[in-house]
Amino acid sequence: MRFKRILAVSIIFILLCPAVVHADDPYSNYTYDFWGTPVPTPAAYVPEMIVDGVSLGIEPFNKPSDLFVGPDNKIYVADSGNNRIVVMNDDWKLVRIISSFNKEGSKDSFKNPSGLFVTQDGDLYVADTDNSRIVHLDADGKFVREIGRPVSEIIPDDFKYYPTALVVDKAQRIYIVALGCNQGLIELDSEGDFVGYTGASKVKFNMVDYVWKMIATDEQREKMTNFVPTEYNNINIDNDGFIYVTTSGVSLEDIDYAISTRSKDDRYAPIRKLNPTGTDVLRRNGYFPPVGDIVFRSRGYAEAGNSQFYDVCIDDSGIYSVLDKKKGRIFTYDVDGNLLYIFGGIGNRKGNFRDPVAVDVIGDNYAVLDFNLNQITVFRPTDYGRLVKEAVELHLTGRYDESAARWEQVLKYNANCELAYVGMGKAYLRKDEFRLAMKYFKLGNKRDYYSKAFDLYRQEVIGDNFGLVVLAIIVLYIGSRILKRIRTGKKARIKAMGKVEA
C-alpha cells in the first residue's frame, strides 16, 4: 500500500513538474521527504552568468575537463582540447594562459591535461593525462618538477598510466585517480615516490558466483564478472584533510538496494569520504543515503536510471555538493548526509547543461564546467538557498538560537521543508528544551532524534520531580501500612465478636 502511494504521488509530481517551475527557472526545484516522495521547493540556486572563451577574449574552450577554485579565489580551467590551463580571477577576468613551460632549458607543453589542484601556496599540479605524468608548477606558472609513472613491484609492467585527477594534502602527499586503476587511489609521498594504493572500495561478495568459479572451466571464468573494486572517477579534499571520491560504477541494482533499505554501507555508495587510513567515514544519517535522485525511471528515457556522480566540491563548513553527470543536477548535502537542495538540469536554456564534468564553489556561488558546451555556468544563491545554508552553518558553530531563527524563515518559504523542522528540533535539543525538540522532530519525521529527545525529556521530568516522587512513595508506603493495620484490627474485632456470640 505504501509503495502504491509513493508511486502515485511520484507520477503526479513528474506530470506536474513544468507547472511548479518558475518562469525564470530552467529546471525543476524539488527535494525528497521521509517517504522518498519528490516535493517541490523554492529554487535554492539560479544561473547568474555564462563564462566562455569569447567572454574572456581568447580562443574558445575546447573540451574542457576540469575546473578548480584556488585558495585566493582564482579559477583554473583545464582546457584539454587546447592543451592549456586558463586562469581567471574572482571577477571572471583573464589572468593568464599556461600553454607551455620551460623544463630544464627546453620548452615543454601539455597533452590533454584533465585534472587540476592548487595548494595553499598557489602551486599548481596538473594531471597531464596523455603525457602520463603530473606536472608541478609554482604560483607564477614556472616549472618545478615532473612526476612520471609510479614504479613498484605491485604495479604490473603493462599498466597504462593515465592520471585524470589529483589532490595534494598538507603534508605534500599526492593522491591520484588514474584510468583503469580499480585498486583505489595511487598515493605518492612528497618526493613523488610511490607509497601504495589507498581507499579501495569494498567488493560485494557473491557466494554463488564464487562457487561457480571454482568449478567452471577457464573459458567460462573469463566470461564471468570478476570480483574487483569499483574505479573512482574524481577526487577532492577538505580543509581537515579528508578525501572525497566519486564513482559512477555502482550498479542500478545496488543503488536500488541502498535506497529501499536506506543502507549506510559504503559498498553501495557513489560518494565516499576517506580518512588518512583510507577508511570511508562519510555520514549517511539523512532519510536516504547520498545517492542523488531517489525516484527515477527505469528505462526508455534519456535520463533513465540512477544518478551518476562525477565530481564533488566541499565548502569551508563541510557542506558538500555532488555533480550528477547524467542528469546535470547538483545535489548538496550537509555533514550528516541530509539533502539540502538540488539545482541544475540537462537542456538548452541558461542554467542547463549538455555534458557537465566539474563543479566547484567560489564564495557563495557555484561554478559548473560543461565539456560539450565549452563554457562555465555560474550560479548564485536565492534568499531561500542562503537561509538554508546559513541555518546549517550556524548550527555547526554552536549558534543554536540564530540557527533556529533561520529555519523559521525557511519555513515561511517552504512549509513542507522537513529539514527545517529537524533543524529547529536539533537547535532546541542543544538548548535542553526537550519537549519542543520532540515536537519539531515529530514534524520532521526524524524518529531517532525524537527518541533521543523523549528519553532526555523523561529524565528531566523525573529529575525535576524526584522529591515529589520520593514523597509520594513514602506516603503510599505509610498509607498501605496504616490500611493494613486497620484491616487487621477490623478482622480481629469481627473474630472476637463471633466468639462472644458463640
pLDDT at 21: 42
Contact status, residue 188 vs residue 194, Cβ threshold 8 Å:
yes
Number of Cα atoms under 13 Å in the Cβ half of residue 358: 29
DSSP string, 368-406: EEETTTTEEEEEEE-HHHHHHHHHHHHHHTT-HHHHHHH
Contact status, residue 306 vs residue 381, Cβ threshold 8 Å:
no
pLDDT at 205: 45
pLDDT at 476: 83
Contact status, residue 109 vs residue 128, Cβ threshold 8 Å:
no
How many residues belong to the chain? 502
3-state secondary structure of 317: coil
Instruction: Please state, as a whole number, how many other Cβ atoms lie within 10 Å of the Cβ of residue 496.
Output: 10
pLDDT at 243: 97
pLDDT at 488: 78
Rounded distance between C-alpha atoms, residue 285 and residue 444, angstroms: 14
pLDDT at 31: 94
* C-alpha separations of 201 from 152, 269, 360, 487 in Å: 21, 9, 24, 75
pLDDT at 335: 96
Widest Cα–Cα separation across the chain: 133
Cell numbers placing 246: 566519486
Residue-wise pLDDT tens digits, 228-274? 467 899 999 999 999 999 998 898 899 999 999 999 998 899 999 99
pLDDT at 203: 52
3-state secondary structure of 126: strand
- 109: exposed, middle or buried (C-beta count within 10 Å: 0-12, 13-18, 19+)? middle
pLDDT in tens, the chain (502 residues): 444 554 554 544 444 443 344 446 788 899 999 999 999 999 999 999 999 999 999 999 999 999 999 999 999 999 999 999 999 999 999 999 999 999 989 999 999 999 999 999 999 999 999 999 999 999 999 999 999 999 999 998 889 999 999 999 999 999 999 998 988 999 999 999 999 999 986 655 455 444 545 565 665 555 444 444 678 999 999 999 999 999 988 988 999 999 999 999 988 999 999 999 999 999 999 999 999 999 987 665 656 789 999 999 999 999 999 999 999 999 999 999 999 999 999 999 999 999 999 999 999 999 999 999 999 999 999 999 999 999 999 999 989 999 999 999 999 999 999 999 999 999 899 889 999 999 999 999 999 899 999 998 888 888 766 666 677 788 888 888 888 778 777 777 776 666 555 5
pLDDT at 12: 44
Cell numbers placing 152: 613498484
Cell numbers placing 239: 580543509
pLDDT at 14: 44
3-state secondary structure of 407: helix
Instruction: Please state, as a whole number, how many other Cβ atoms lie within 10 Å of the Cβ of residue 151.
Output: 8
Each domain of the chain, given as residue ranges in start order, spans 44-381, 402-464
Q: Name the H helices within 224-380.
A: 252-261
Q: Closest Cα to residue 282, out of 264, 305, 255, 258?
A: 264
CATH classification for the domain delimited by 44-381, as one of 3.30.450.40, 2.120.10.30, 3.40.50.10320, 1.10.3720.10? 2.120.10.30
